[in-house]
Amino acid sequence: MKNPFHGIVHSIAISTLLITGAGCAPLANEQPAAPAEDAPTAVESSATPENDTPKPNGQMAPTEPLELTDVQARQLEAGAALHEPTVLTFDVAGGNFWFTPDEIRVKKGDTVKIHFVNAGGFHNFVLDEFNVDFAPNKTGERYDVEFVADKAGSFEYYCSVGAHRQMGMKGVLIVEE
């Protein structure tokens, strides 16, 4: 005996295939998708200031000239990559014939802040090339100094009390281009 639902199930299955298949076919007035090489390239976008105008290649053209600092202008003339000056803070401790750290590295144009703490004895912190020199202080006292590292090179900092420098109480500030 034939199952009476067999014909209905068969009709529903065929109708479903026809309906879903029809969604895949292009309409008569639709154009097929362009090949991948002809498709426009997506460009990441961001907020555009009102005064900027887009260039044909999608980049933005500033309407005002860039202003460089003296240090940046010299770097640009020398062909060096531009370095955005930053403020760098260093905690330096000094004890009997030592500094820690005994090496500090910065980039030319950076603002350098040094917080010197006397960890024991009677000491000071001198950095001749940047006019850093303060009166000796006692154990536990702190001295803060700030300067712009506007010269490249290696510069010795030291304690000028007695023979402390000769006994090894020194370090080096390295200012890189």
Tokens 């008569």 -> residue: 28
Residue spans per domain, the chain:
82-176
> Would you give per-residue pLDDT tens digits along the chain (177 residues)?
555 545 554 455 455 444 545 455 555 554 555 544 444 444 343 333 444 444 444 454 445 555 767 766 666 666 555 668 899 999 999 999 999 999 999 999 999 999 999 999 999 999 999 999 988 889 999 999 999 999 999 999 999 999 999 999 999 999 999
Among 161, 87, 88, 76, smallest CA distance to 123 is for 161
**Rounded to an integer, what distance in angstroms lies between the CA atom of residue 90 and that of residue 95?**
16
Q: Which of 41, 157, 40 is nearest to 98 (CA)?
A: 157
Taking only Cα atoms into account, the Rg of the chain, rounded to an integer number of angstroms, comes to: 36
Residue 142 phi, psi (nearest 5)? -125, 145
Q: Is 42 helix (H, G, I), strand (E, B) or coil?
A: coil
Q: Is 132 exposed, middle or buried (0-12, 13-18, 19+ CB in 10 A)?
A: buried
Q: Which CATH superfamily is domain 82-176 in?
A: Cupredoxins -  blue copper proteins (2.60.40.420)
